[in-house]
Amino acid sequence: MDIKKKAKRILSDILIVLLLVGMFFGGYFVSRAMHKKDTSTVGDIARIMQDAAYIVDPITGEAKEITEDDIADAIVNGLLDDYSAYYTKEEYEQILKERTGAREGVGLSFYRDEGGKDLYPVVFKVYGNSPAERAGFLAGDRITYLQIEGKESKKVTGGTVIEQVMGELKMGQKISITFEREGEQHTLEVVKEQFETAQVTYYDNQCKLYFSSKDSDEIQKVVDNTAGMTELDDKTAYIKLESFEDSAVWQLKEAFAQMQANNKEKLIFDLRDNGGGKLNVLLEIASYFIYNEGQEQSLVVYAQKKKGTEEYFTPKNNFLPFIKEVFVLANGNTASASEALIGAMLYYGEDINFDQDHIIIEGAKDKEGIGSTFGKGVMQTTYELENGGAVKFTTGKIMFPDKKTCINKVGIRATKENSVDKDEAVERVIEIMTAPIVPEEPIVPEDPEGTEPNDAGQEQE
């Protein structure tokens, strides 16, 4: 957890303690202080905290002005699970924008390698069609120095938070990023700009299909007939799905169309580092993998909620009959909608020749050497507020279409043979595909008692 998150958690804990203490005594003291019999206790406490509570900002050490947003954030983060959140008006507007695929920045997300040297931030994800992707950044790059155009270089270790430095970057401004990759130091420059994320990348042995807005105002399909994945055979395609945002649907349709046009019938479907997204996008994508005896709608997610259950179905039957076999690649960051999709594919697996042996999981191995996905089997609902912000709550436990399998905090497990190290998943699929088929031993029925075959192999009477 980085310093910014720790500070937010400390402030949240302080506020929630004050709030709970106030709520305990609120029935008497608040009504006396406010001289209102019909007012909300929580609302009264919030006003008193704004007027009188002295809170020290954990980052600056200075007194912090308490706002309604701070108090709402404290309630959500202090009482509910890690998936629940409060968003200010500005934060929620940005979230709505990003759900369509529109972003602004350089296109990198980071994590702290707690076991690594000096706690340098490491690139977790490079967003498709971003300035960072075009510059050549890769997941796993260990960031060491940042230098914003016109300012001095900063070492991003120890107490320096990379988010704070990146937060100073203005639109159109250049930043120089130094990083370590495979023991060597590199430096690349990127500019903060608006971009639309690419959700899908397609390969076969003939071409690469991707989505870019580099040479146009809008993101569009690009087919490169010189960049195929040569290790694939003539019948296999590879598709990487980054997340379940709105733009994933039309981009995936384009990839499927390319797959069919190039006469591919086996699919390697890559969900590594896909943390999920929108439910309606999940249902749409699931519809391409489910035939279910031709049913127009098929159950994908079954949810146990506070007041009963809910079922979520594919919008229509979009099954693609040319796909004869599917392999799924996953890792410990494969979560939420990705896990729900895998669950539905397992349940309706006969339609696409998919079962447990077709799941390859990188890393995230337990003591037995078994790999598993993240294990997020709960769903969240976002409620808009009058102030323009929003609050997101966990509102249900989700299960596979069998209405009983929930993988929350467990994940989807691979077989031991299909639990591989980082960057070995595609290699494992190719190994499975090219393994020689061992013919089964013919079953010879036992002879009935008192009979023996004659020389012609026929039973005697």
Q: Phi and psi of 253, rounded to 5°?
A: -60, -40
Task: For the chain, give the percent of residues with pLDDT over 90.
Answer: 58
Burial of 264 (0-12, 13-18, 19+ CB in 10 A): buried
How high is the pLDDT of residue 14?
46
Q: Tell me the C-alpha distance between 448 and 461, whole Å.
A: 12
For the entire predicted model, the pTM comes to: 0.79
266-325 confidence digits (pLDDT tens): 999 999 999 999 999 999 999 999 999 999 999 999 999 989 999 999 999 999 999 999
Q: How far apart are CA 205 and CA 363, in angstroms?
A: 27
Distance CA 268, CA 216 (A): 30
d(CA 84, CA 72) in angstroms, rounded, equals 12
Task: Read off the DSSP letter of residue 277.
Answer: B
More confident residue, 238 or 55: 238
Helix and strand numbers (H, E) in the chain are: 10, 23
Closest CA to 104 of 189, 172, 188, 174: 172
pLDDT of residue 101: 83
Closest CA to 285 of 300, 265, 266, 302: 300
Residues in a beta bridge with 87 = 390
Is it the case that residue 13 has pLDDT exceeding 60? no
At residue 31 the predicted structure's pLDDT band, cuts being 50, 70 and 90, is very low
pLDDT of residue 248: 96
Poorest-pLDDT segment among 215-224, 236-245, 352-361, 421-430? 215-224
Residues 18-31 have a mean pLDDT of 40
* Residue 315 DSSP one-character state: S
Q: CB–CB of 274/334 below 8 Å?
A: yes
Res 438: pLDDT: 67
The 10s digit of each residue's pLDDT in 136-192 is: 999 889 999 999 988 888 888 755 567 778 888 899 999 999 999 999 999 999 999
Residue 398 clears pLDDT 90, i.e. is over it: yes
* Phi–psi pair at 409, nearest 5 degrees: 65, 10
pLDDT band at 58 (very low <50, low <70, confident <90, very high): low
pLDDT band at residue 446 under the 50/70/90 scheme? low
Q: Which parts of 311-363 fold into alpha helices (H)?
A: 337-347
- Residues facing 269 on adjacent strands: 239, 328
**Cα-Cα-Cα-Cα dihedral sign, residues 49, 55, 59, 65:** positive
In angstroms, rounded to a whole number, what is the distance separating the alpha carbons of residues 363 and 332? 7
According to DSSP, the residues that pair with 447 across neighbouring strands are none
Beta bridge partners of 108: 126
Q: How far apart are CA 372 and CA 202, in angstroms?
A: 25
What 3-state class would DSSP assign to 145?
strand
For the chain, the distance separating the N- and C-terminal CA atoms, rounded to the nearest angstrom, is: 82
Give the three-class secondary structure for 149: coil
Question: Which amino acid belongs to residue 158?
Answer: G
Nearest to 389, CA basis, from 76, 49, 39: 76
Q: Are strands 325-331 and 390-399 parallel, antiparallel or unpaired?
A: unpaired
Residue 392: name the closest of 21, 72, 103 by CA.
Answer: 72
Q: For each of the domains in the chain, give its residue range(s) and CATH number, in order of start.
A: 3-79 (no CATH), 104-195 (2.30.42.10), 197-434 (3.90.226.10)
Question: What residue spans of 215-246 are helical by DSSP H?
Answer: none
pLDDT higher than threshold 80 for residue 118: no
pLDDT confidence band for 43 (50 / 70 / 90): low
For the segment 223-241, the average pLDDT, to the nearest whole number, is 96
Predicted local confidence at residue 106, as pLDDT: 94
Distance (Å, whole) CA 58 – CA 93: 27
Q: Is the pLDDT of residue 262 over 70?
A: yes
Give the list of residues 6+ apart from residue 289 with CB closer than 8 angstroms, or none. Answer: 319, 320, 323, 326, 341, 344, 345, 348, 351, 352, 354
- Give 355-386 pLDDT, tens digit per residue: 999 999 998 788 899 999 999 999 999 999 88
Q: Collapsing DSSP states into helix, strand and coil, what is residue 188? A: strand
Q: How confident is the model at residue 59 (pLDDT cuts 50, 70, 90)?
A: low
Please tell me the distance from the alpha carbon of residue 387 to that of residue 86, in angstroms, as a whole number. 12
Give the bridge partners for 178, in sequence order: 145, 187
138 vs 455, residue with greater confidence: 138
Mean pLDDT of the chain: 84
Give the three-class secondary structure for 411. Answer: coil
Residue 78 has pLDDT above 50, yes or no: yes
pLDDT at 442 over 80: no
The rounded radius of gyration (Å) of the Cα atoms in the chain is 27
DSSP string, 376-401: --EEEEEEE-TTS-EEEEEEEEEE-T
CA 436 to chain centre: 35
Which percentage of the chain shows pLDDT scores above 70?
79
Confidence class for position 114, pLDDT limits 50, 70, 90: low
Segment of 17-21, 166-170, 195-199, 439-443 carrying the highest mean pLDDT: 195-199
User: Running DSSP on this structure, what letter comes out for residue 418?
Assistant: T
The amino acid sitting at 221 is: K
In the predicted model, is pLDDT for residue 46 greater than 50? yes
For residue 163, the model assigns a pLDDT of 74
pLDDT (0 to 100) of residue 63: 74
Lowest-confidence segment of 169-183, 310-324, 403-417, 435-449 by average pLDDT: 435-449
Handedness of CA 131, 134, 135, 136 (dihedral sign): positive
The DSSP bridge partners found for residue 170 are none
Cα distance between residue 285 and residue 297, in whole Å: 13
The pLDDT of residue 3? 46
Strand pairing report for 359-362 and 419-420: parallel
